[in-house]
Amino acid sequence: MHDVIENDDNLPGQAGLPVASLVARVTIKRHIRDMDPSHESGGSDAKILGDIEGRQWLTKAPNNPQGKRILANEYVAAAIAMRIGAPLQRGAVCVVPDDIAATMRLSSGAAWSAGDAFGSAFADGTKPYLNTMVAEIKNRDVLMASIAIDTWLSLHDSRQARVRDAAGGGYDVIPVDFGHCISPGNWLDLAGRPPIISLHDPNSWSMGATELGVAAVADAIEAVTDGEIEAIVGSIPEPWEVTGEERARLVTFLVGRRPGVIAALHMLAPGLP
């Protein structure tokens, strides 16, 4: 059996989706393996776990070395990505039972905590993105949605990505690791963040995107309602210790920055209506 889940099909601008359809909730059945330091890295000390349906998730523990806030960051990014059709791996709250947690250790030697972890669908058959690949990117239009998410959430870390060989040559880019996309700390300072001036695109992935592709992303973001944003933020698991005040400020932050993201997309494609 092919023990991997990929992104579900999702049409940009598909409104009214329940949060449960944006971020899955799965029960973990087994520890598959630790990360391979030769080509897989990250400060969260993630592991690949399998759920009861046979799907594999790159999973970060509740007590990972970077803290619980990175789980909430990942959750918000994954939900918005599914909502607007961005090429991220599907996200899930991975419920790790006590008996499975007892079989695992973090690299520090600490026991893996049971309960709600965060997982991204394991991207099988991919390799790390290298800057030398930029001219051969084939999925630039859909990749604009990921650039927009980095801009909207105010990325606080370097942009990491994996690639898959595209049909006919070149590469399809899959951005990964959104643990620092809003902030690794609390969210009480969000009102002081600088406004959006342009898209956050340090890798120049937007070069060559079509106006039609940019328009689709702008329309998808514009279609996200305030209520959907409130539902996403409100559904962040309670064990991840996001306070009520932080949730309220995050909703205000995301709602307030949405027009700036759309305006930045229009700047990239001035022919848009």
In the prediction, which pLDDT does 17 show?
Answer: 59
In the prediction, which pLDDT does 37 show?
Answer: 66
In the prediction, which pLDDT does 41 show?
Answer: 62
Contact 147, 199 (CB under 8 A): yes
Residue with tokens 């669908």: 121
Encode the chain (273 residues) as per-residue pLDDT tens digits: 223 344 343 334 445 557 778 999 999 999 999 877 655 666 789 999 999 999 999 999 999 999 999 999 999 999 999 999 999 999 999 999 999 999 999 989 999 999 999 999 998 889 999 999 999 999 999 999 999 999 999 987 888 999 999 999 999 999 999 999 998 888 999 999 999 999 999 999 999 999 999 999 999 999 999 999 999 999 999 999 999 999 999 999 999 999 999 999 999 887 665
Question: What does pTM read for this prediction?
Answer: 0.91
Contact 62, 117 (CB under 8 A): yes
As a three-state string, the secondary structure of 30-82 is EEEEECCCCCCCCCCCCEEEEECCCCEEEEECCCCCCCCHHHHHHHHHHHHHH
In the prediction, which pLDDT does 228 show?
Answer: 96
How many residues in the chain? 273
Amino acid at 72: A
Contact 221, 262 (CB under 8 A): yes
In the prediction, which pLDDT does 8 show?
Answer: 42
Amino acid at 60: K
Residue 220, phi-psi category: left (phi > 0), alpha (psi -120 to 50), beta (remainder): alpha
Contact 143, 209 (CB under 8 A): yes
Alpha carbon separation from 272 to 15, 35, 226 (Å, rounded): 22, 44, 24
